[in-house]
A and B are shown apart, each in its own frame.
Chain A
Amino acid sequence: MYRIVKKKELAKNIKLIEVEAPMVAAKAAAGQFVILRIDEPGERIPLTIADFNREQGTITMIFQEVGYTTRKLGELKEGDFLADFVGPLGQPSEIEKYGRVVCVGGGVGVAPVYPIARALKEAGNEVISIIGARNRELLILEEEMRAVSDELLVATDDGSYGRKGFVTELLDEVLRRNGRVDRVWAIGPVVMMRAVAEVTRPFGIPTIVSMNPIMVDGTGMCGACRVSVGGETKFACVDGPEFDAHLVDWDLALRRLNMYREEEAQALAYHSGEGGNCRCQ
């Protein structure tokens, strides 16, 4: 059993939990993820490691409540336990001194970008970060990102804070303005990552994205997480989750994410008691 030692609401439907898992914390690196299961009938869900504390032996995750499992996770309190927690999974980000890098985070994707930006900064890079959300209330980790970036730019879809528009527009400006950018990291919704890939492609800048396909085991055993990269099939849980944005088959990634739409709605309805058959207790 893995204890939740801290919990915080960062924005509407976006929560942070810190979980005690010393063996995972001892090895965790930016870019990796964990898989957790709340209880026995639960699904195994992957979440990116947003931060880790080796001394205290804890892992921080930031998640958006999108379906049954993430909502239920959002209801847990400090002191509650998770049945299962496994990691660190996947390959760490390739942190080197590249020169000037841009880190782009959209929505809850700012969370996984944060440890990468921090590591890049520590490795001696000039870090320009661009973060965005639908509106001001949904923007997370602004201060944390500012602290590890040489420059921080913010966009909101509705213009309630920072620039009105998408992170990709800011990225395009940065690339035009700054002449040389050596590498771009982008994490967020698939449509955003795809848009970033299209922005950097004409500039020929190596661009890394973190893929979030549906997973089961996270150890390369099932193949649920396959993504197509440069025409080759890869297992995101062991070969990734980070891949070259310019080589990813985005249509396939989007389709595979929606594979269980009906079942996800059904699970939510069943457990939230529509039709009076609540079994979630």
Chain B
Amino acid sequence: MPVSLKKTPMPCQPPEERIRNFQEVALGYTEEQARMEAERCLQCKKAPCRQGCPVEIDIPAFINFIKQGDFESAIKKIKEKNNLPAICGRVCPQENQCEKYCTLSKKGEPVAIGRLERFVADYELARGESELPTLPPPTGFKVAVVGSGPAGLTAAADLARMGHKVTVFEALHVPGGVLMYGIPEFRLPKRIVQAEVDYIRRLGVEIRTNSVVGKMVTVDELLENGYDAVFIGTGAGLPYFMGIPGENLLGVYSANEFLTRTNLMKAYLFPQYLTPIKVGERVAVIGAGNVAMDAARTALRLGAKKSMIVYRRSAEEMPARKEEVENAREEGVEFHFLTSPVEFHGDEAGWVKRMTCIRYELGEPDASGRRRPVPVPGSEYHMEADTVVIAIGQGPNPLVLRTTPGLELTKKGTIAADEETGATSRPGVFAGGDIVTGAATVILAMGAGKKAARAIDAYLREKGRRSHG
């Protein structure tokens, strides 16, 4: 039988229904669908797909187990390398990772590797407490991990599996980083994140929430007080604003605040949950990345009549994943291209009501290779909006950086760290994820956490040899 050129479709909540709830949009494969999709895999000898996976999953091997209906072995295979499979299966930009290199993508659609990964991870979670790998005897070394996003969690889990004692320090009241406060419930249910975090706890990792490093304790104090190494994975949590008049009007949110109120604090369950959020009838989201799509789709679910993406470049340059743009379109999000606000106007009470926008044209390609937007003089016009969400990017939060003397930074203000090891200018201090790369992806952060764990392990063993030798 010739291999189908198309992925087995995944069932979804229909758009008109899903915009009225916060439940997951994509429903996941059934066993039959998973096995059907697994059948498409050619089990290539060289397995080109593997080079696209930053956490080094043996993709053909786990898919082969699915083919045979042995889902337990499939998840075990994945977990040899990846401690957060239910998360990756949902939010990895697979089209730029594993699936991009799949042999099938030369002729048609690649194997739906992410969906299969999600299927077996969910299969295991549904069956209750998962099996733990055998852990090596304790090495006696202690490592502090700062930040519990995907980078920190991955480094922590891998280090624990190497026998080190790991403590994670997290500023917020729950672990998970952007997985908890940023990515919405309808794309990544929070119980899934917590189930995977629990698995990491069961590996012996201690997670201390409500612990702001740089305030409650500094990196140097951690090193002085018994930790042999520190991994910094504090992410890119600092919201950028535009710096234009009217930006502090009521109803103008940063995407971080808008999404944190909704996801972390569950404002969609207000007043049962006590954190409020205000969403008007016409919501304008400035920017067109994944964060912007999430904000625009969240606004609809919070009751907005109209949700608009306002972007100064064109559809081609949008940095968001195609799939997310598609989902947003289906749900009725409006796209306004080649335009951007230059001023916000409010009513007497100080609430935003309108924006002055200016139109743009595309000029020559810029450093990023995308055509540069050039404002069209005299093209100003008004656009009504009673809620605005600024989603133009995030930078590194300086709390840890400013309190860690001798830590070298890049021009962008991120930590200068070795790409292969995460080593920083300070011996014993490693870093990875968005705090090093700037805002990137879950899987790249995890890949960095994995490499750093390996380098930290080597550093500790070397340290051990020296102190004994």
Contacts and interface: CB of A to CB of B under 8 A. Distances in A.
Interface of A: 23-24, 27, 37, 41-44, 68-69, 83-89, 216-217, 219-224, 226, 228, 233, 238, 251-252, 255-256, 259-260, 263-264, 266-267, 270-271, 279
A281 B276 CA distance: 20
Contact of B241 (A233, A255, A264): A233
Interface string B350-370: 100000000000000000000
Contact of B260 (A43, A216, A259): A216
A252 B346 CA distance: 12
A87 B275 contact: no
A37 B266 contact: no
A25 to B, nearest CB: 10
B248 A222 contact: no
Contacts of B261: 216
Interface stretch (B85-93, B208-216, B371-379, B432-440): B208-216
B274 A86 contact: no
B171 interface: yes
B73 interface: no
Contacts of B46: none
26 contacts: A23-B211, A23-B217, A27-B215, A41-B266, A43-B275, A83-B173, A85-B210, A86-B211, A87-B215, A216-B261, A220-B237, A221-B237, A221-B239, A221-B260, A221-B397, A222-B256, A222-B257, A223-B239, A223-B253, A223-B257, A224-B257, A251-B350, A263-B271, A267-B276, A270-B272, A279-B272
B349 interface: yes
A75 B239 CA distance: 36
A221 B149 CA distance: 14
A44 B274 CA distance: 9
Of B212, B238, B272, which is in contact with the most chain A CB atoms at under 10 Å from its CB?
A: B212
B270 interface: yes
Closest 5 CB pairs of A and B: A263-B276, A222-B257, A86-B210, A43-B274, A255-B350
Nearest to B266: A41
B238 A42 contact: no
Interface in B178-227: 181, 209-212, 215-217
B397 A68 contact: no
Given A23-B217, A27-B216, A87-B216, A263 B278 contact: yes
Nearest to B172: A217
A37 B243 CA distance: 32
A233 B278 contact: no
Dominant secondary structure at the A interface: mixed
B448 to A, nearest CB: 20
Dominant secondary structure at the B interface: loop
Nearest to A256: B250
B399 A219 contact: yes
Contacts of B210: 84-86
Contact of B173 (A84, A221, A222, A267): A84
Interface string B257-277: 100110001100111111110
Of B173, B217, B238, which is in contact with the most chain A CB atoms at under 10 Å from its CB?
A: B173
Contacts of A42: 274
Nearest to B247: A233
Contact of B212 (A69, A86, A216, A279): A86
A224 B267 CA distance: 15
B103 interface: no
B83 interface: no
A86 B260 contact: no
A69 B172 CA distance: 19
Given A27-B215, A220-B238, A223-B254, A256 B248 contact: yes
B212 A221 contact: no
Interface in B276-299: 276, 278
A226 to B, nearest CB: 6
Contacts of A279: 272
A187 B278 CA distance: 29
A51 B173 CA distance: 23
Nearest to A83: B173
B171 A86 contact: yes
